Structure 1
């Protein structure tokens, strides 16, 4: 890539995207919240799905971007594909799709007709752009599945769209006739119980990492925490988890340092099939805690899934260092690639 091809420096490539100079929109991996906001406002969107990759690439098949009409002819973007110059070009095509409703299939990199749009990785990316109307039944079904924490497949040829409860690979491609099926799992969720600096650091990092983050603080202050979380609850962890529908896309971290709070939460999370269950505390207390959970009815299989020394060793012992290691461990545990490619 030459200097003038950089999307930040070349207005012809980046001018369609709002906030292109500081592309924080690329941090967002799940396009559904932005889709919900746009449709609630009565605005159509252009959904871009990376459906095929050749060679090396920063993102794999299934990665998505979402574009909604913004002010002054710009589009508001969510997500990213390469970090190179193609995001601005995809935005230009997205504006056309928003205007005329005709889907597009874009090809960047090796073998592309656009030789001036090169990828640093040397690979090739194939992208489907499709328009979603504000009254789309398929989009409504997709969002309903997310709200009800059910896995959903988005099947589309660019014009005919369908969302149904189903499982499968993250992205299935049918070349002839062209059709993709993209799997959406329930949003990743982190439930943290506790209110000390370590618990708050874990909750804040989880929220920054795009987890649906719920902070539990039994009998805690009535005022919410001083940073954004999805929900703040003052009830017992076991009671909260009973109505939160724990599943394999949920991580629970017991960090009150009080066994009468954390053990009940861990047992409920294990029995609910949470994808990650951890409890912060001294290693010297591990045997006592395991014994208490076993006495409460926890099976050997459930206890084997419990992390009593959560996090990545060697990062340090400050709240942010401990929280960073725990969030990394949770990300790995909830990574869909561990279950289905």
Structure 2
């Protein structure tokens, strides 16, 4: 029978692993699906994950809707038999009635009995902001896929731009960290379940910034006195992006002040301004889209195939 379950479009490996472990620990049968090979175009990247529950729900996705229902049916069959299953769609596939509009071919493995200890260890590393490697059973031997932590956005500011940017970033599945001197702003964003929320009491007060190479730091203050301490800390910790709201003139003055208080030219050069792909915007929603698009363009690689045998 065709699957009638829901498809929940989670994307990052961290979320799929957490969902898989929740099902396994609760005793619900499930199957973990992984893309092991891509030829030509594809809707998702190599190593993309999804989990299928015994009810026919899928968390994650492997296509743009063209084959996910069929994958669910194969996943339910694997759960019933308890047997590992390999699938190929596209060129060379036995499923001639299922086309991949993007062309090429996609190879998947469905595992109805994934290694719980391996998944737990991988999830712990990702939550600890470390890369991890998982091994999957390919047709011709084990395939190792390396996964990077979820991209984090450390967003500081106040007002409409802060709120709009935070909401959009949450929908884009960033790990969200918020800082603001405005308690009302922070309270309004509580429903987004940010990883951290910090109240800034004075412009010079130190705050905890969980910065690593998978983090972007974005400042959206109109009152720029709140920026200096954060920018100095961020520039010395080398996230993949640092940006601050303001005009070219404002940015030049910002950099001059940072150099005056001892930030090196190399560290200052990391700080982007004006932010965004589109200059001189005055609408909070458009500024948010423009800034997050710039950050997206600079995201580090999320996962790569490291080896197969």
Tell me which interval the TM-score lies in, with the shorter structure as reference length. 0.7 to 0.9
C-alpha distance 128-338 of structure 1, shift in aligned 2 (>3 A): closer
* Residue 169 of structure 1: aligned partner: none
* Residue 143 of structure 1: aligned partner: 123
Aligned counterpart in structure 2 of residue 279 of structure 1, from 228, 236, 244: 244
Shift of 1:340: 9.7
Shift of 1:262: 1.5
Structure 2 residue 192 is matched with structure 1 residue 228? yes
Q: Which runs of 4+ in 1 moved over 4 A?
A: 337-341
Q: Does the 8 Å contact 1:31/1:66 carry over to 2?
A: no
Secondary structure of 2:72 counterpart: helix
Matches of 2:303 and 2:112, distance apart in 1? 32
Matches of 1:62 and 1:136, distance apart in 2? 18
Q: Which structure carries more relative contact order (alpha carbon 8 Å, separation 6+)? A: 2
Structure 2 residue 234 is matched with structure 1 residue 269? yes
Instruction: Give the structure-1-normalised TM-score.
Output: 0.79
Matches of 2:5 and 2:72, distance apart in 1? 6
Shift of 1:83: 2.0
Shift of 1:75: 2.3
Aligned counterpart in structure 2 of residue 107 of structure 1, from 74, 84, 88: 88
C-alpha distance 268-110 of structure 1, shift in aligned 2 (>3 A): same
* Residue 17 of structure 1: aligned partner: 5
Q: Does the 8 Å contact 1:102/1:131 carry over to 2?
A: yes
C-alpha distance 98-339 of structure 1, shift in aligned 2 (>3 A): closer
Within-5 A mapping of 1:147-296: 147-157=127-137, 176=140, 178-218=141-181, 220-221=183-184, 223-225=187-189, 227-230=191-194, 231-235=196-200, 239-242=206-209, 244=210, 246-296=211-261
C-alpha distance 142-323 of structure 1, shift in aligned 2 (>3 A): same
Q: Does the 8 Å contact 1:315/1:321 carry over to 2?
A: no
Secondary structure of 1:88 counterpart: helix
Q: Which sections of structure 2, spanning at least 5 residues, go unmatched?
A: none
Within-5 A mapping of 1:54-133: 54-69=39-54, 74-132=55-113
Q: CA RMSD in A?
A: 2.7
Matches of 1:199 and 1:304, distance apart in 2? 24
Shift of 1:219: 5.3
Secondary structure of 2:44 counterpart: coil
Shift of 1:38: 4.4
Matches of 1:300 and 1:44, distance apart in 2? 56
Matches of 2:99 and 2:207, distance apart in 1? 50
Matches of 2:304 and 2:122, distance apart in 1? 21
Shift of 1:338: 11
Q: Does the 8 Å contact 1:225/1:232 carry over to 2?
A: no
Shift of 1:197: 0.5
Matches of 2:29 and 2:73, distance apart in 1? 16
